[in-house]
Structure 1
Amino acid sequence: MTTTRKLPLPSNQAIKLTFVCPASLKAVLDRYAALHAQTYGEAVYAVTLIPHMLEEFVAADRGFKRRNCQEG
């Protein structure tokens, strides 16, 4: 008899955030999204990329990691 063990999946819960940015940053994000579409052949809105960009930024922040590990 084979038993299958269900692995826990990470939470996919999304929380909506609203933020205000300068028009110049919005223009840069739009250009970034256009370059992304050109590179990967798939159109995407800048707002869709922002969570991924922030996640990568935080993951790459050595100072944050160092302090976060000390406090945790």
Structure 2
Amino acid sequence: MPLRLDKLPDRTPVRMSISLEPDLASALKDYAALYQQSYGRNEKPETLIPAMLDTFLNSDAGFKRARKTLHATQPTQGH
């Protein structure tokens, strides 16, 4: 009997290392401070960055359209 819920995708976090310009690192620290003021929770910038990137990518309509086209023209590779 097929289930209504599809098999869940791989949810294993992928670790990435990046280098930031000093101005961007400072801005991220300021963002974390403002986040703490707004929500009363102290979060490190590196904890906020994945959510920030997710919000950015999900709000970029051009990226979403291009990504659909990209995946429609390539064989699936676990995406």
Which runs of 5 or more structure 2 residues have no equivalent in the other structure? 73-79
Counterpart secondary structure, 1:54: helix
Which runs of 5 or more structure 1 residues have no equivalent in the other structure? none
Q: Following superposition of structure 1 onto structure 2, how do residues 27-66 of structure 1 map, counting pairs within 5 Å?
A: 27-66=26-65
Query: CA RMSD for the aligned pairs?
Result: 1.6
Change (3 A) 1:32 1:68: same
Residues 11-46 of structure 1: per-residue CA shift (max 9 Å, x gap)? 431111000010110000000000001110010000
- Quick check: 23-32 or 9-18, which moved more? 9-18
Aligned to 1:22: 21
**How many equivalent residue pairs?**
67
Q: Percent identity?
A: 36
Runs of 4+ with deviation above 2 angstroms: 7-12
User: Comparing both chains, which one has the higher relative contact order based on Cα–Cα distances under 8 Å and sequence gaps of 6 or more?
Assistant: 1
TM-score (norm 1): 0.81
